Structure 1
Amino acid sequence: MRAFQNLILAIWLLCCPNMSTAHALDPGFLDLRQLSPNTWQVLWRIPDVNGQPMRIDAILPEPCTPRQGTQPVFDTVAWVSTWIADCEAEIAGQTVSIKGLERQNNDVLLRVQPLDTAITTLRFTPDTPTLTLPENPTTISVFLSYFQLGFEHILEGWDHLLFVVALFVLVRDPWRLVGAITAFTVAHSITLALATLGVLRVPAAPVEAVIALSIVFLALEIIKHKEGQLRLSEQFPWIVCFCFGLLHGLGFAGALSEIGLPSQDIPTALLAFNLGVEAGQLAFISVLSVAIYLWRRVLRFSPTGFHAIIRPVTGYAIGCVSVYWLVERVSGF
């Protein structure tokens, strides 16, 4: 039983410390919008850390005054600072930096919106806290930035990962599992696009609660599994994933709306974000598969009756965490 207790504890420790932000998407966001040849409007969103703004600050190019913003104000999601910067020279080819980012684990998305050229989207990382603004922006930079954003989002969203873990336990055939994951991606791509473009508007709190409920459903499917009797999610996994993917897409949209989309490259950004999510899911499934292979083939750990009870124990562990999320999110209405 020690192994089972450790399994439950591991899932709990991974998921519970961030209950309120299980859907976390916490990069900073710096938007530079040109108003006139020498004037730029600056929007600087700083991630929240325990009720305080993260200790990072945006530093504009040298020709601009002021180069830093005023004290940020909390808008219930992040800390926001806005100001107008007067830039005596062209900022293309100049450097922008995020002070203190090298000491953090978060990234910062930069969007530059000039008057006469295409919008540019770049990404600061702890390893590259300083970037040079390109003089000839390309669409590929938008694609790469939002692909990475989608990839990181799925790996940082504990509720989505737990959904994928439950699918991994339920669907044993590898190709059926990949098909189910793809159906999930297609579905969330639909609602993500509709919600991001403003066609579909649903309050965030109920969406987050229903996402937790979808994980509870899969946990029950795992617990009620009987050999020789396929459950609905095992028989038609792609249908179940498609239906729940529509809900999860609304959750993705809430996160993506915090960053925004480049107005001239919305299709590219949406496609890249969805492909990034799909890549992140498949990468996570691959890691789980390798771990199971090593468990069975290399460690050769398979005591009598182990596999008969590990499945329901996993189901109860996933169920406990998802019920906690459900109660917490419903109580937050």
Structure 2
Amino acid sequence: MKLCLYILFALWLCCVPQRGNAHALDPGFLDLRQLGPETWQILWRVPDVNGQPMEIDAVLPGQCSPARSTGLTADDVAWVSTWVAECDVPLAGQIVSIEGLGRQRNDVLLRIQPLNGATKTMRFTPDTTALTIPESPSTWSTMSTYFWLGFQHILEGVDHLLFVFALFILVRDPWRLVGAITAFTVAHSLTLAMATLGVLRVPSGPVEAIIALSIVFLALEILKRKEGKIRLAEQYPWIVSFCFGLLHGLGFAGALSEIGLPAQDIPAALLAFNLGVEGGQLAFIAALSLAVFIWRMLAPAASSRLHMIASPTTGYVIGAVSIYWLVERISGF
């Protein structure tokens, strides 16, 4: 059915490095928090690349001293530097840049926390390596930043994509599949909002383990599927997606809590982040559907012959990967 597609996806899974915390933000993060009229505390977080910090550097306006980091220290998932800078002029209207970002494929999130004013959130990209700090950000600017943050996060979250991929294998009706994905988004939006706002507090370790367990469940549904017998995930995909989406939302909250939400636009930022996650999921499903369509057009006979082995093979691989994650995350408690 989808053996060729499965092989490509399985190879991708094997090539993507896994971490104990699958929800740490891969983009860089620059936080500017004002301590006094001319004093700013800087937090500079650089993504890890094969045990070394990515070759990028944050550069503050020339009126700030020091304008660059003085050294990076490794934590569990990234490289961090903190320092205090004295700036002779207000940062509003000044330019902050990320040196070397144009040679990378990552983004960097910028958060400015003035002493008396609203928190501003902006995004550097390889095409936009310098930003002018605005007097006050628009709601649209905030929503755009958090939409692309959600979109990028779901496409970099291998466990979430594997869950969506398993649904793609199980649910053959396109509209039922879209409904299941939407139910997943609605559910994780609820728990994401509650966890981010501090209403719901759950340790991240057990959440990560249960997320892996949810993928094991779908792998078993794939393996136990037989002609003429409809499995629970096939008959009620939106219910299964909604229930597990509540758990996945707690995982998303771990990423969002690292950067926080702009105090003046919390509802807009949450909405945009969730819409970005939904957009990323639908884009992933669209890419899978296109790949299957092309495969069937180019090799219809081979597609028919491989139907019997593709589904169980996919189930075994999804199950093996998710069980590995489950054991790894439980051992990390």
TM class by shorter chain equals over 0.9
Give the secondary-structure state (helix, strand or coil) at the position aligned to 2:82: strand
**What is the CA distance between 1:107 and its match in structure 2?**
0.9
Provide, for residues 154-192 of structure 1, a one-character-per-residue CA deviation record: whole Å limited to 9, x for no partner: 111111111111101111111111111111001111111
Give the secondary-structure state (helix, strand or coil) at the position aligned to 2:17: helix
Equivalent position of 1:99 in the other structure: 99
2:326, 2:301 → 1: CA distance? Answer: 35
2:48, 2:291 → 1: CA distance? Answer: 34
Give the secondary-structure state (helix, strand or coil) at the position aligned to 2:329: helix
122-131 or 76-85, which deviates more: 76-85
1:36, 1:7 → 2: CA distance? Answer: 56
Equivalent position of 1:183 in the other structure: 183
CA contact (8 A) 2:120 2:136 kept: no
Equivalent position of 1:19 in the other structure: 18
CA contact (8 A) 1:213 1:322 kept: yes
Q: Superposed, which structure 2 residues align to 1:164-243 within 5 Å?
A: 164-243=164-243
Provide, for residues 30-74 of structure 1, a one-character-per-residue CA deviation record: whole Å limited to 9, x for no partner: 111223332222222222334433222211011111111232333
1:63, 1:323 → 2: CA distance? Answer: 53
Which letter does structure 1 place at the counterpart of 2:28? G
Identity %: 69
CA contact (8 A) 1:15 1:22 kept: no
In structure 2, runs of 5+ residues without a counterpart are: none
202-211 or 34-43, which deviates more: 34-43
Q: Superposed, which structure 2 residues align to 1:1-333 within 5 Å?
A: 10-16=8-14, 17-20=16-19, 22-23=22-23, 25-302=25-302, 305-333=305-333
30-39 or 243-252, which deviates more: 30-39
**What is the CA distance between 1:256 and its match in structure 2?**
1.5
Length-normalised TM-score, structure 1: 0.92
1:7, 1:295 → 2: CA distance? Answer: 8
In structure 1, runs of 5+ residues without a counterpart are: none
1:264, 1:8 → 2: CA distance? Answer: 44
Which letter does structure 2 place at the counterpart of 1:59? V
Give the secondary-structure state (helix, strand or coil) at the position aligned to 2:300: coil
303-312 or 179-188, which deviates more: 303-312
Provide, for residues 209-241 of structure 1, a one-character-per-residue CA deviation record: whole Å limited to 9, x for no partner: 111111111011011101111100011111100
Give the secondary-structure state (helix, strand or coil) at the position aligned to 1:36: coil
Instruction: Report how many residues are paired.
Output: 330
40-49 or 165-174, which deviates more: 40-49
Give the secondary-structure state (helix, strand or coil) at the position aligned to 1:58: strand
Over 3 Å counting, the alpha-carbon distance change for 1:79 and 1:19 in structure 2 is closer
2:197, 2:212 → 1: CA distance? Answer: 25
2:82, 2:265 → 1: CA distance? Answer: 24
CA contact (8 A) 2:187 2:246 kept: yes
Root-mean-square deviation (Å): 2.0
Which letter does structure 2 place at the counterpart of 1:312? P
2:299, 2:24 → 1: CA distance? Answer: 34
Which letter does structure 1 place at the counterpart of 2:99? K
2:312, 2:211 → 1: CA distance? Answer: 21
1:298, 1:12 → 2: CA distance? Answer: 21
**What is the CA distance between 1:8 and its match in structure 2?**
5.9
**What is the CA distance between 1:299 and its match in structure 2?**
3.7
1:148, 1:48 → 2: CA distance? Answer: 21
Give the secondary-structure state (helix, strand or coil) at the position aligned to 1:269: helix
CA contact (8 A) 1:113 1:119 kept: yes
**What is the CA distance between 1:109 and its match in structure 2?**
0.3
Provide, for residues 59-92 of structure 1, a one-character-per-residue CA deviation record: whole Å limited to 9, x for no partner: 1011111111232333434332222222112222
Give the secondary-structure state (helix, strand or coil) at the position aligned to 1:18: coil
CA contact (8 A) 2:69 2:83 kept: yes
